[in-house]
Amino acid sequence: MFLKSLNIANDSGIVRSINFHSGMNLIIDETPSDKNLVTGNNVGKTTVLMLIDFCLGSSAKAIYTDPENKKNENAVVKQFLIGTKVVITLTLTHDLHNPLSEDLVIERNFLSRSQLIRRINGAQRTEQEFEQVLTEYLFPGHYGKKPTLPQIISHNIRYKEQGITNTLRTLNQYTRDDEYESLYLFLLGCDFDRGDMKQRLLTQIRTESAFKARLEGAQTRSAYEASLSLILMEIEKLDKEKAALKINPNFETDLSRLDEVKFEINQKTSQLSRLKMRKSLTEEAVLEISSGSATVDVQQLKQLYRDVSERVSGVQKTFEDLLLFHNAMVEEKARFISKDIPRLNAAITQCESEIAALLREEVDLAQVVAKSASFAELEAVIVENNEKFRQRGEFETIIAQISDVEDVLKSLNSSLADIDDELFSDDFETRIQAQLNKFNRHFSTVSQELYGEQYALKVDRVTARNGQRVYRFSSFNTNFSSGKKQGEISCFDIAYTLFADEVGIPCFHFLLNDKKELMHDNQLANIARLVSRKSEQVQFVASILKDKLPAELNQEKYFVVKLSQDDKLFKIE
């Protein structure tokens, strides 16, 4: 898919219409340097890229919010977008040179509720449907799986700091290594059949680890065990003190039973608390997974899917099949995690019943013991002993709970290890390396043409901080200047598009780049010549200050929009 056009319109008509072409497309800031005190900021170069990203599913707030401080909003821009009912229309096409080529038309606005526009080829979509249709259009059958569409196309759209400064780690700073592993295995065409099971296990491991962290919030298991040992010693000491007192046989029996009942009550109460905590965490996990179930108006989408099926050969599954498969997958995940809920409910009911019986027995025994003439004499020992028994019950319950969750984690990690044994087998690594070799032929060729150097992508088996094995992808690069990094990024993105076409992996053929003035003139000119030759495969869109352009590129044929301090993108400032 290539960019065909981007239109900005409001209730007064067309504000800006941008038509893209094959090869190099430049978004130019014409403001002279001696007058441009903000070095090209605020004219809308980056906003063009953001609007394309917005049409592909990103947040509307990014258009009028400071990326470094989400609380700072550009009130003028926000009012313009909302107050004048701005609609952004992005048109993608399979072939820029064929007027009969199938187009994909996406429309979005910045209003809410009944006035919200979120259309694909004229059909209004919910937020979930929107991402689903876009995903299925490019990757049939992939919606609901990892990596997500925004992750897959993150290297195509580079205007955020992560994408501008990093070649591979283009997602947000909190993205885990296993997510990057999933992303680059997918991009290389090395899909792993048990990937969904691995993600499910990782979700369970995180849930159980969170439960264990709560249990050990005050102390670790070893600390609880050490404290329990001291408490047992104290109880033994108090029992000896109590035995030395002159107590009639019946009183001793009743008092001993009262101690046991109090201990059992404390133990059962602590156990009940942990059972309820575990049930709550399980229900939260089920709710989080169940929220991903698709609720699509099948009749509304049926015609669209039929149209797509007629135009795309090889589609054998109906939309209803795909929808049922997705919802069944989500339901299976929910059932898998929620299978402990009935057992937990039964255990909670049983525990509450036992506590009630023990409380009644405690009342009866307390009344009997209180009538003894020896009670006053033993009161101090009894109070202290009761507290020790309470602590003993609490600590033993916590230790048992920690032991149980450790057993569960051991089992989950064992299952994960079985999957990883396949994922990290020599056969699978050989498969990855074969794909890397194909990619690196393009990567090295492109970088050799642009820089006279050869870049390559490599993969290493590493162990992450949480102990999990992952594949970590990285590029060979010993140059750290901003210009060189910009070049490496462009080499990678161009090479990936050529590689994807070679091996038959669907991809967007447009590459969006911000701040290309960081590159050397020769590098940018080389890119223009390269994408000109590869215009059937690569469409390169870059924002740049006009006075930073090399002479070779300072030509109208490359410009798709020219902006300045006197002619900003939205024409409102």
DSSP-derived secondary structure for 205-245: HHHHHHHHHHHTSSS-HHHHHHHHHHHHHHHHHHHHHHHHS
pLDDT range class, residue 504, cuts 50, 70, 90:
very high
CATH of residue 111: 3.40.50
Question: Is 214 found in the same domain as 130?
Answer: no
- Single out the residue in 413, 435, 452 at which a domain terminates: 413
Question: What is the DSSP-derived secondary structure letter of residue 567?
Answer: B
Percentage of the chain beyond pLDDT 70 is 86
Per-residue pLDDT tens digits for 215-254: 888 788 888 888 889 999 988 888 887 776 655 566 778 7
CA-CA-CA-CA dihedral for 325, 329, 335, 337, to nearest 10: 180
pLDDT value at 318 more than 90: no
Alpha helices for 161-218 (secondary structure H): 161-165, 177-187, 195-215
Overall average pLDDT of the 402-421 stretch: 89
pLDDT value at 298 more than 70: no
Residue 5, phi then psi, degrees to nearest 5:
-160, 160
pLDDT value at 28 more than 50: yes
On whether the CB atoms of residues 28 and 41 are closer than 8 A, the answer is no
Residue 346's contacts (CB-CB under 8 Å, 6 or more residues apart) are none
Task: For CA atoms 569, 560, 157, 68, give the dihedral sign.
Answer: negative
Per-residue pLDDT tens digits for 276-288: 888 888 888 878 7
pLDDT range class, residue 558, cuts 50, 70, 90:
very high
**Confidence (pTM):** 0.69
Q: Is the peptide bond between 342 and the residue preceding it cis, with omega within 30 degrees of 0?
A: no
pLDDT range class, residue 443, cuts 50, 70, 90:
very high
Percentage of the chain beyond pLDDT 90 is 40
Task: Give me the count of residues in the chain.
Answer: 573
Overall average pLDDT of the 45-64 stretch: 94
Mean pLDDT of the chain, nearest integer: 85
What's the 3-state SS for 97-118? CCCCCCEEEEEEECCCHHHCCE
Per-residue pLDDT tens digits for 172-194: 888 888 889 889 999 999 876 67
Overall average pLDDT of the 334-357 stretch: 84
Q: So what's the pLDDT on residue 531?
A: 94
Q: So what's the pLDDT on residue 439?
A: 96
Residue 218's contacts (CB-CB under 8 Å, 6 or more residues apart) are none
Question: Is 371 found in the same domain as 296?
Answer: yes
Per-residue pLDDT tens digits for 147-168: 899 999 999 999 998 998 899 9
Residue 185 lies in a domain: no
Residue 507, phi then psi, degrees to nearest 5:
-160, 160
Residue 175 lies in a domain: no
Higher per-residue confidence, 153 vs 308: 153
On whether the CB atoms of residues 129 and 480 are closer than 8 A, the answer is no
Q: So what's the pLDDT on residue 112?
A: 93
Question: Is 369 found in the same domain as 304?
Answer: yes
**And the tokens for 25?**
């497309």
Exposure string (b/e) for 451-464, b if CB count within 10 Å is 16 or more? Answer: bebebbbebeeeee
Question: Is 24 found in the same domain as 110?
Answer: yes
- Single out the residue in 413, 439, 472 at which a domain terminates: 413
**And the tokens for 427?**
């056969």
Question: Is 234 found in the same domain as 89?
Answer: no
Question: Is 236 found in the same domain as 147?
Answer: no
Residue 555's contacts (CB-CB under 8 Å, 6 or more residues apart) are none
pLDDT range class, residue 373, cuts 50, 70, 90:
very low
Bridge-based pairing state of the strands 103-109 and 87-93: antiparallel
On whether the CB atoms of residues 180 and 166 are closer than 8 A, the answer is no
Task: For CA atoms 428, 314, 152, 505, give the dihedral sign.
Answer: positive
Question: Is 212 found in the same domain as 149?
Answer: no
Question: Is 237 found in the same domain as 100?
Answer: no
Residue 351 lies in a domain: yes
Per the structure, the count of domains in the chain is 2
Exposure string (b/e) for 68-92, b if CB count within 10 Å is 16 or more? Answer: eeeeeeeeebbebbbebebbbbbbb
pLDDT value at 497 more than 90: yes
**And the tokens for 212?**
């264990």
Residue 518 lies in a domain: yes
Alpha helices for 468-520 (secondary structure H): 482-503
Amino acid of residue 37: L
pLDDT value at 312 more than 90: no
Higher per-residue confidence, 477 vs 157: 157
On whether the CB atoms of residues 542 and 23 are closer than 8 A, the answer is no
Give me the domain span that covers residue 233: 206-413
- Single out the residue in 394, 413, 432 at which a domain terminates: 413
On whether the CB atoms of residues 29 and 568 are closer than 8 A, the answer is no
Residue 383 lies in a domain: yes
Question: Is 221 found in the same domain as 148?
Answer: no
Overall average pLDDT of the 518-533 stretch: 84
Return the minimum-mean-pLDDT range out of 207-221, 283-297, 525-539.
283-297
Question: Is 388 found in the same domain as 325?
Answer: yes
Residue 423 lies in a domain: no
Question: Is 248 found in the same domain as 319?
Answer: yes
Instruction: Give Cα 547 to chain centroid, integer Å.
Output: 40
pLDDT value at 169 more than 90: yes
pLDDT range class, residue 319, cuts 50, 70, 90:
low
Per-residue pLDDT tens digits for 119-144: 999 999 999 999 999 999 989 988 98
- Tell me how far apart the alpha carbons of residues 363 and 218 are, in angstroms, rounded to a whole number: 32
CA-CA-CA-CA dihedral for 77, 82, 84, 90, to nearest 10: 90
Q: So what's the pLDDT on residue 374?
A: 54
Exposure string (b/e) for 164-175, b if CB count within 10 Å is 16 or more? Answer: beebbbbbeeee
Own/partner long-range contacts of 222-225 (Cβ < 8 Å, ≥24 apart): 224/395, 224/398, 224/399, 224/402, 225/399
Residue 190 lies in a domain: no
Residue 302 lies in a domain: yes
Question: Is 389 found in the same domain as 521?
Answer: no
